[in-house]
Amino acid sequence: MAQTRLSLKARGIQLLAQREHSRSELRAKLLRHARADILLAQQVAAAAALDVHAHAGGVTPIEPAAAPDPEAAVDTLLDWLEAHHYLDETRFVESRLHARAGRYGNLRIRQELAQHGVVLSDNDAAALKSSELARAREVWSRKFGDVPADPAARAKQMRFLAGRGFSPEVIRRVVRGGEDD
């Protein structure tokens, strides 16, 4: 039994139903599908044309059909998805913040959002900045819990927090163990 292929619009809505996507991320995914769909359509058309050509005695040359532009089709679809509120960069940022804020620092979150082609609003950036010390302490206490006993342990804890994207000042305050900040 042949499996029915989804249209580009159905694929976009299906992807957005699974989770929020940035425009650039969704564009990349849909372009792969659009190009694969065009290639499949060309192969099917070529096979059908060869079959017709063989049955006709093999005399007439076959003209290839002009391929549609997948980038224009995807961009048009993305505009439609945004206009109908299926695709929303603000929702994407909020979902990323909700998923990442408990485990990562501001630097890591900003870097991940930049990879998706979006930036934090001023309000979101201020909220992240104000909560970074508390979030870093929570992450640190889950992993270590105790103030480091020697310089090697201190360096290990600082590298861990730096890898999670916390700022150097916040890392120093957390590893120093000052609760009165």
pLDDT (tens digit per residue) in 24-54:
999 999 999 999 888 888 888 888 777 655 5
Query: What is the pLDDT at residue 60?
Result: 52
Q: What is the mean pLDDT of residues 108-115?
A: 95
The mean pLDDT of the chain is 87
DSSP 168-181: HHHHHHHHHT-TT-
Per the CB < 8 A criterion, the answer to whether 126 and 174 are in contact is no
Domain layout of the chain by residue ranges: 1-87, 88-181
Query: What is the pLDDT at residue 6?
Result: 85
Question: Confidence band (pLDDT; 50, 70, 90) for 1?
Answer: very low
Per the CB < 8 A criterion, the answer to whether 165 and 100 are in contact is no
The tokens of 86 are what? 């299926």
Query: What is the pLDDT at residue 3?
Result: 64
pLDDT (tens digit per residue) in 65-95:
555 789 999 999 999 999 999 999 999 999 9
Per the CB < 8 A criterion, the answer to whether 113 and 104 are in contact is no
Q: What is the mean pLDDT of residues 113-141?
A: 94
**Closest to 95 (Cα-Cα) out of 59, 124, 115:** 124
What's the whole-model pTM score?
0.76
